[in-house]
Amino acid sequence: MPTAKLTPRESLQTSLHRPSSLWTLLLALLVLLGVAGFAIGQDASNKPQWISLFNGKDLTGWAPKITGYDLGVNFGNTFRVENGVLKVAYDQYDKFGGKFGHLFYKTPFSRYRMRLEYRFVGKQTPGGPGWAFRNSGIMIHCQKPESMSKKQNFPVSIEVQLLGGDGKNTRSTGNLCTPGTHVVMNEKLLTQHCFNSKSKTYHGDQWVTAEIEVHGNDVIKHLINGEVVLQYERPQLDEKDADAKKLIKDDNLMLDEGYISLQAESHPVEFRKVEILPLEK
């Protein structure tokens, strides 16, 4: 049966008084988008944020411990802040004299992601050991700085070793050293002191980004310029180490948390953008 043709006026009245499926669909989409936007907003507000541990102005929140000196004594102004950069400097030293230093952050951490930028500059301080040329580190799962003896060179900890190239030879960075500790790698307890990563070599005074992903007593990853270069797990105290022995309680060797410190080993080094991102258990 032929359909009666509507006038333009009748077509408009029909569309106004009879909702179309298209308008219904659009309304439903708007509702869904509103709900999704609210959910995204909620997730963004609850998502952990990167926290700066270094204010770029001074050493607030940090305390130096240098071999032969009490906690808090910053011999020779070794650790200082200049032009927004945290520096390890030796211009007030006549010679190094075994004054290994560590700058401790005030709060212990267990599960987190940490990142910073570092670079080596200038010449090594006279009297510094050969292995300490362009050598520093980020110490994690450290013992309390108050528990270190006055003459103790290094805190019992896990060291993310930072090395700079000499301009010609291969030298990885983001390595692992274990003062007073052991780790498990590929299901095997490793008791040697240092392990090389698979990183590239970084010569000169260029800035390098180092990251550490720490899951308590579980997996720990080292990243250099965004690339995972080393991974291990189950950090633990070395029961044969004199300093570590003092920290063992109830025969428990496992390390689940600890303090963070930045190292001074006789070669000038600079740090910036020191940040931490808390992770859920």
Residues 177-207 have pLDDT tens digits of: 999 999 999 999 999 999 999 999 999 999 9
The pLDDT value recorded for residue 13 is 47
Question: What percent of the chain stands above pLDDT 90?
Answer: 82
Cα separation of 234 and 191, whole Å? 13
The b-or-e profile of 55-86 (16+ CB within 10 A means b, else e) is eeeeeeebbbbbbebebeebbbebbbbeeeeb
For the stretch 54-104, pLDDT in tens is 999 999 999 999 999 999 999 999 999 999 999 999 999 999 999 999 999
Closest CA relative to residue 87, chosen from 225, 277, 274: 274
Predicted confidence band of residue 20 (pLDDT cuts 50, 70, 90): low
For the domain bounded by 51-278, which CATH number is listed? 2.60.120.560
What is the pLDDT averaged over residues 158-165? 98
What is the reported pLDDT for 48?
77
Quote the CA–CA distance of 118 and 272 in Å, as a whole number: 7
**Three-state DSSP state, 21:** helix
Residue 169 tokens, joined: 């030879």
- Which tokens is 189 given? 């307890």
